[in-house]
């Protein structure tokens, strides 16, 4: 068996007992794996003996042989791989496993055995994404379900794509529920549905002054976009007129970009909103077509698609995403990602189900398992690779499902909401801005920062005691603790920053 002399090649490492110890299996078993390893070459190997040499990475759909990466030394193994693309990670792993089984081994190929491939596959995905291409359905599924794809390299790879299209900017969105509750639809995840017994605050369409006051607050919070949401199946003519007037005023007075979510719309109504200056219409697909009947029976997936088509025909930008964790499978998540790609949706909110007592769907479960922060990251990475040019927004459930990994999620995603969601609290603006700045990203703003936020950000960037001078002093923390203690004693509300999953603790 020939091996590569180059240190950069994975084969080189296989020669040393020290380097194979971490494979956690009897060393003798390595012999059967060498041929497998040989089929997958390390990127960047420049050994004269290594035929892969300086050949470029194959493009998607192109074989190694065409790209000059064919491994001529490795007889049968190489000929199998030559007919596959390096981007098809799933086939490569399947092939490797089959080969090992064929050789009588009784273990699956661990991550280390195809470590070299994983990096090559990640590089291939990045290369495709930078050209605006999507990865294959199989690879998208592998990102979600194959835990041997290491998380940090995956996040880093998705971050390379995000940086290429969006730099280090993070867009902040602020939601305002301008009409809440009393909705005749039966969406099982929504506390505003009449079928839900969730104890929400229901109110009719807000007055113009209230909507404008919220827009002003969004502006003061450094929001890039002001998103207004109406409960209900769809807006009446009067509601359209009211919202059109509000949109005009928000644009004129604050220059904020606007987004409206108003249920099902036809093209005529969408056009009236577009004429008023609305930038974007939000209408989430929410889940896959095949799973849609499980979450709602009063309208169909096709109704949702028709609304997107109407908005597009009216010249509105589209914003459409999903809610992860409504009992769907990985295939459903990939299907939604690819449907959104088909629509070339430029803005994709990825929400994670916030379980609200009283709703029909209240177990946040994907493929029969609860959402973990690691899975939430994988979902965001998958969306980045399927929709490389889209604004991927971390939506509801950021605090509860990503938890301590929220900052990592800024690598695949490039926007988020602050100050809560439709019915649940989220982290406040300053904590979110601090997370963004601490992770080395920039909050993107159209226009100037409000003065106090500018001081806050400057303090964070200065680091050291300057950051504590703003409002992270020990005194403030002690104050907060007192407030929590007092609130618990008196039964009052707790501070938003102490909420989990968007729902206040205790
Ligand atoms: S998601 Fe919209 S349409 Fe469905 S119940 Fe809630 S408010 Fe009504």
Measured from the Cα of 183, ligand 1's closest atom is 8
- Is 139 among the domain residues? no
Catalytic annotation on 190?
yes
- Is 143 among the domain residues? no
Give the total number of structural domains in the chain. 3
Residues 211 and 340 grouped into a single domain: yes
Residues 220 and 100 grouped into a single domain: no
Domain ends where: 88, 116, 133? 133
Catalytic annotation on 227?
yes
Q: Which residue, among 415, 428, 432, has the nearest Cα to 499 in the 3D structure?
A: 428
- Is 145 among the domain residues? no
Residues 499 and 422 grouped into a single domain: no
Catalytic annotation on 246?
no
- What is the residue whose two structure tokens read 């003798």? 28
Is 171 in a helix, a strand, or coil? strand
Residues 432 and 498 grouped into a single domain: no
Contact of 307 with 265, CB cutoff 8 Å: yes
| CA gap 176, 181 in Å, rounded | 14
Residues 109 and 257 grouped into a single domain: no
pTM of the model as a whole? 0.72
- Is 311 among the domain residues? yes
Residues 332 and 193 grouped into a single domain: yes
Which helix (H) or strand (E) segment holds residue 481: the answer is helix 474-490
Phi and psi angles of residue 467, each rounded to the nearest 5 degrees, phi first: -65, -35
Residue 403 CB contacts under 8 Å (≥ 6 apart), including other chains: 373
User: Residue 213's CB: how many other CB atoms inside 10 A?
Assistant: 13
Q: Does 187 sit in the ligand 1 pocket, CB within 6 Å?
A: yes
Q: Percent helix, strand and coil across the chain, each rounded to 5?
A: 50, 10, 40
- Is 2 among the domain residues? no
- Is 373 among the domain residues? yes
Measured from the Cα of 191, ligand 1's closest atom is 6
Domain ranges, residue 238: 163-468
Residues 49 and 174 grouped into a single domain: no
In a mutational test of the pocket of ligand 1, which residue from 181, 182, 183, 285 has the highest number of ligand atoms less than 8 Å from its CB?
Answer: 183
Residues 265 and 320 grouped into a single domain: yes
In a mutational test of the pocket of ligand 1, which residue from 193, 320, 326, 349 has the highest number of ligand atoms less than 8 Å from its CB?
Answer: 193
Measured from the Cα of 233, ligand 1's closest atom is 3
Residues 306 and 384 grouped into a single domain: yes
- Is 206 among the domain residues? yes
Residues 124 and 89 grouped into a single domain: yes
In a mutational test of the pocket of ligand 1, which residue from 182, 231, 232, 349 has the highest number of ligand atoms less than 8 Å from its CB?
Answer: 231
Residues 218 and 343 grouped into a single domain: yes
Contact of 350 with 401, CB cutoff 8 Å: no
Residues 451 and 395 grouped into a single domain: yes
Catalytic annotation on 207?
no
Q: Which residue, among 352, 500, 506, 505, has the nearest Cα to 426 in the 3D structure?
A: 500
Contact of 12 with 19, CB cutoff 8 Å: no
Q: pLDDT value at position 76?
A: 38
Catalytic annotation on 296?
no
Domain ends where: 133, 155, 173? 133
| CA gap 7, 9 in Å, rounded | 5
Q: pLDDT value at position 66?
A: 41
- Is 242 among the domain residues? yes
| CA gap 458, 262 in Å, rounded | 38
User: How confident is the prediction along the chain (506 residues), in pLDDT tens digits per residue?
Assistant: 345 544 444 444 444 444 333 333 332 233 333 333 333 334 444 444 444 433 344 445 444 434 433 333 333 333 333 333 334 556 555 555 554 444 444 334 444 444 557 888 899 999 999 999 999 999 999 999 998 899 999 999 999 999 999 999 998 887 788 888 889 999 999 988 888 888 888 888 899 999 999 888 888 877 778 888 988 899 999 999 999 999 999 998 888 889 999 999 999 999 999 999 999 999 999 999 999 999 999 999 999 999 999 999 999 999 999 999 999 999 999 999 999 999 999 999 999 999 888 888 988 999 999 999 999 999 999 999 999 999 999 998 898 899 999 999 999 999 998 765 555 555 677 888 889 999 999 888 766 777 778 888 888 888 766 666 555 544 444 444 445 445 444 444 433 333 333 333 32
């Amino acid at each position: 068996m020939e091996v590569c002399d180059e240190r950069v090649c994975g084969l080189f490492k296989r020669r040393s007992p020290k380097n194979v110890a971490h494979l956690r299996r009897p060393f003798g078993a390595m012999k059967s794996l060498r041929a497998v390893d040989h089929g997958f070459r390390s990127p960047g190997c420049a050994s004269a003996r290594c035929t892969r040499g300086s050949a470029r990475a194959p493009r998607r759909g192109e074989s190694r042989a065409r790209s000059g990466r064919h491994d001529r030394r490795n007889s049968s193994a190489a000929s199998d791989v030559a007919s596959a693309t390096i981007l098809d990670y799933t086939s490569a792993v399947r092939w490797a496993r089959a080969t090992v089984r064929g050789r009588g081994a009784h273990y699956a190929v661990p991550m280390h055995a195809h470590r070299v491939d994983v990096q090559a596959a990640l590089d291939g995905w990045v290369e495709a994404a930078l050209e605006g291409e999507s990865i294959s359905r199989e690879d998208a599924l592998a990102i979600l379900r194959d835990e041997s794809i290491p998380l940090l390299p995956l996040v880093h790879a998705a971050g390379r794509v995000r940086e290429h299209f969006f730099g280090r900017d993070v867009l902040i969105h602020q939601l305002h529920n301008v009409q809440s509750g009393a909705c005749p639809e039966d969406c099982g995840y929504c506390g505003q549905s009449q079928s839900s017994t969730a104890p929400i605050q229901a109110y009719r369409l807000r007055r113009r002054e209230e909507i404008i006051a919220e827009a002003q607050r969004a502006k003061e919070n450094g929001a890039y976009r002001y998103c207004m949401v109406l409960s209900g199946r769809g807006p009446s003519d009067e509601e359209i007129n009211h919202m059109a007037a509000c949109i005009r005023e928000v644009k004129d007075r604050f220059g904020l970009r606007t987004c409206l979510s108003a249920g099902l719309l036809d093209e005529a109504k969408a056009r009236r909103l577009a004429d008023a200056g609305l930038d974007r219409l939000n209408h989430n697909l929410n889940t896959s077509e095949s799973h849609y009947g499980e979450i709602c029976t009063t309208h169909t997936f096709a109704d949702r698609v028709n609304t997107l088509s109407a908005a597009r025909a009216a010249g509105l930008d589209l914003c459409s995403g999903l809610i992860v964790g409504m009992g769907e499978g990985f295939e459903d998540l990939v299907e939604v990602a690819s449907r959104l790609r088909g629509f070339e949706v430029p803005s994709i909110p990825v929400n994670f189900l916030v379980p609200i007592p009283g709703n029909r769907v209240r177990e946040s479960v994907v493929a029969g398992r609860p959402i973990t922060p690691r899975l939430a990251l994988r979902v965001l990475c998958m969306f980045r690779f399927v929709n490389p040019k889209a604004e991927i927004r971390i939506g509801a459930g950021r605090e509860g499902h990503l938890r301590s990994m929220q900052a990592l999620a800024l690598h695949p995603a490039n926007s988020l909401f602050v100050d809560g969601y439709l019915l649940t609290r989220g982290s406040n603006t300053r904590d979110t801005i601090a997370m963004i700045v601490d992770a080395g990203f920039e909050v993107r703003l159209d226009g100037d920062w409000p003065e106090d936020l500018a001081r806050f950000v400057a303090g964070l960037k200065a680091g050291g005691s300057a950051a504590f001078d703003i409002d992270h002093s020990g005194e403030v923390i002690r104050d907060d603790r007192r407030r929590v203690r007092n609130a618990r004693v008196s039964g009052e509300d707790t501070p938003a920053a102490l909420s989990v999953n968007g729902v206040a603790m205790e």
